[in-house]
Chains A and B, each alone.
Chain A
């Protein structure tokens, strides 16, 4: 086997508008990082800026790799990649038992790798292969079992790290790809229903109402009484188990969920970040306070301002106009990529595009939703803009997958 069998640098097929817009976003990120790292009286700390430049270079390499890798290679070696990925995710667990370090990272000299990030590509590739090659009909309930197992193994491992945010990203990727594959809606409902049951279980009236909805949907769609009753009882069981599970999760995770509902409950604790972020955003107004003029960021009121709350910095200094421009760019990219998915020549390509696009979208929505106080503080960065080399590699890699799907 030669290098050319694996990779094909099909330069002429790169969708340059996408790439250019991605670079515009990273440039916005550099501007925001510069601002977030300069403080009154001490000038700018250029360290973050240069490290981000390095990250962009690394991201570009990752993009080139995932863009030029041949789809035939991906189809042939998807399972190998998947198993390698799972092993890498497990390694930090084993290491943490020995070194009492965190169980998310593998440290190799000066570099740290976070296997759960690369697992995102692998999951997309693996699921794309499964959905494009399945011999079962999407109308068959068993269609979902194999891809569901492929999802649950890494999702469970990441959940145990514990990394709720990444777990959620995996689920979103899976859900979008499953949905696009044409799997019967009723079965999708059966898969989703238990999760809604969990949420409903916190209020007995809502739980009761939801129970009726579940019963109606199940009995209207299924002629097999035994199957229906089992499905219904499973949902009820999940609801009853929820309080036990709630007590089993870490208090800081409980706290995050609770302060999401009302950040003002705990203004100096977990809610502090969200309140300060909202003040930064709100005080930006229509056109913002101007570059380097944000008081919330430059006086250190804003937490994690290079990474998780970078969008609050942009909102404060460039206002609603700046926010709208960036959201518009993201929106444009997503429209463009979904169009690519519709026009893709094969299911596998379409699935790569849908998976990659959904992953980026999910990151965007989780991060921005957090900064505006609509979603819990999960500590997920903003694609292309937040500081952080490892995450830039992920984002550029996802773009590589998407544009690779579009190529040929």
Chain B
């Protein structure tokens, strides 16, 4: 046949090639074993993750009611137009169709998408709260809008009866710069969370649990059918019942509408706040719908600073309402007895300075001094006692520390003592004249209205310190059960009943006596005690204070009113306080 008749190839070489070939087979089989057997579950879940597109279903936030079960915060249905960036990118025609149906320009919608986009595969809201007609037009023809969808997303609505943004707070989307703090708690960018007030304080109770809808999709993310492959329903947030009485709250807001003021009415037996107003208030609804920059500017530049929560962040000199601290300290430490008298000549000299009183009160005992708010009586007391006992009793009554009220970002005020003065002015650089200012609630003393209502409660209960609070009960949606949270109650140590009685009788005269400074607060039948305060301040008219409480057995309510630049406490604060207790007394008995 042909020229070669022998096979001259090397047998060993051929066998070597064969062995190498078999080795490559071994390598392949090992690799398949590794992928398909050893790492099976990891790849399997990746394949499942590929084919299922998970869409979040927002949980409706918990509802918030007042103490009588009237809605304060609720949810209203809202439909948002969303797009899936990765799908719509491949179907640019959808933009034109959306432009036609919504009436918004495609550019604007695209801009919104970029603003609200948190990843190519997550839906981005392009238009909030679309009207019913647009919703139906899109939904009936959804196949022709690849990459777009209308999703139900409840939005927060706040009762229009009150403007209590400072108590209720508001919800808004998590800020991108804060997101790292929320990520671990299961939040996603774009989620709404409570900002400020009850919404923030009870975020964990209100937020509920997100649900999911799984849809089977192909590689370009197109859903294969309208039906969910699997759905995990969201758990709605829990319902909160607040201690607030909507009617009283609304009434308090109207009474104080013209003033920059704060007022609190609290049950002094248990600390329940039935009304708390920081005036001017604001309507939280404006945040829900997203503020325009002009709205934002106008609210931030408002000279009356409505966003400033005067109840817990306003720190003011208390003026004469602070005198009961000195009275308690002096009686307990036996610096004075109830019958100790000092003469008020209208002027008190210390060193080369003169310290004034509002009137020439003549010779007064402690009862008179409280009822008539004589400064000179307390100048004598503090000079005799020194500031150490006084500052100790102020702290026992809760000054200088936050009340623990269930609102975020509460401030503590300042309760000055020797250390404080050393720090502030330097050792030995302060003089006794400062004591005179401080004992009448001026100088370095600063308090918040919330501290004052707690203090009022202590005076009313003769030594029981309650925690003022807004949460009355929680209704757990999932368990369908309710729970009444407990707030701490302390006893103020080391003050005898005799001392409390002595102070109370002075406060009773302050309201019920015809010469009392707080007589404008009197409500006949409630057996009221109270005290006015007028705090000088360098920025203008004095601030007016009033604190008081009813001693009527079945009406254990305390009230505190603070009016910025309200001149004397008797002018605006005291009458408002009286009106509030009177109104609430009638509301309760209706």
Contacts and interface: CB of A to CB of B under 8 A. Distances in A.
B50 A342 contact: no
B86 to A, nearest CB: 10
A180 B31 contact: no
A258 B98 CA distance: 42
B44 A350 contact: no
Given A132-B4, A285-B44, A372 B17 contact: no
Given A182-B9, A283-B43, A300-B220, A72 B28 contact: no
A295 B47 contact: yes
A contact patch SS = helix
B218 A182 contact: no
B9 A372 contact: no
A343 B11 CA distance: 9
Contacts of B13: 179-182
Interface in A270-307: 276, 278-286, 295-296, 299-301
A166 interface: no
Nearest to A324: B29
A331 B22 contact: yes
Contacts, number: 160
A81 interface: no
Contacts of A393: none
Contact of B10 (A133, A180, A358): A180
Contacts of B220: 300
Interface stretch (B33-41, B340-348, B482-490): B33-41
Contacts of A276: 50
Contacts of A148: none
A41 to B, nearest CB: 6
A180 B33 CA distance: 32
Interface in B44-64: 44, 46-48, 50-51
Contacts of B583: none
Q: What is the interface of chain B mostly: helix, strand, loop, or mixed?
A: helix
A123 interface: no
B224 interface: yes
A347 B2 CA distance: 11
A319 B17 contact: no
Contact of B17 (A278, A282, A354): A354
A338 interface: yes
A331 to B, nearest CB: 5
A369 B35 CA distance: 13
Interface residues of B, number: 46
Given A334-B21, A346-B2, A283 B32 contact: no
A265 interface: no
B6 A279 contact: no
B17 A358 contact: yes
Contacts of B42: 282
Given A182-B9, A361-B21, A72 B36 contact: no
Nearest to B8: A347
Interface in A320-342: 320, 323-324, 327, 330-331, 334-335, 338, 341-342
B18 A334 contact: yes
Given A296-B50, A320-B36, A374 B31 contact: yes
Contact of A180 (B1, B9, B28, B44): B9
B428 interface: no
B334 interface: no
B487 to A, nearest CB: 53
A408 B16 CA distance: 26
Contact of B37 (A295, A320, A335): A320
Interface in A358-398: 358, 361, 365, 368-369, 372, 374
A327 B25 contact: yes
Given A179-B17, A279-B43, A299 B28 contact: no
A349 interface: yes
A348 interface: yes
Interface in B187-221: 216-220
Contacts of B27: 374
A124 to B, nearest CB: 14
B298 interface: no
Nearest to B2: A72
A351 B7 CA distance: 9
A75 interface: yes
A200 interface: no
B28 A295 contact: no
Interface centre among A72, A320, A374 (most CB of B within 10 A): A320
B294 interface: no
B5 interface: yes
A196 interface: no
A199 interface: no
B14 A338 contact: yes
Interface of A: 39-41, 71-72, 75, 132-133, 176, 179-182, 276, 278-286, 295-296, 299-301, 315, 319-320, 323-324, 327, 330-331, 334-335, 338, 341-351, 354, 358, 361, 365, 368-369, 372, 374, 408
Interface of B: 1-11, 13-18, 21-22, 24-25, 27-29, 31-33, 35-37, 39-40, 42-44, 46-48, 50-51, 216-220, 224
28 contacts: A71-B2, A75-B3, A176-B17, A179-B16, A180-B14, A181-B13, A276-B50, A281-B35, A283-B44, A284-B36, A285-B40, A300-B219, A300-B220, A301-B47, A327-B25, A330-B25, A335-B18, A338-B15, A341-B9, A342-B14, A345-B5, A346-B6, A347-B7, A348-B2, A349-B7, A358-B17, A365-B28, A374-B31
CB-based closest 8 A-B pairs: A282-B43, A283-B47, A300-B219, A182-B10, A282-B35, A320-B36, A338-B18, A299-B218
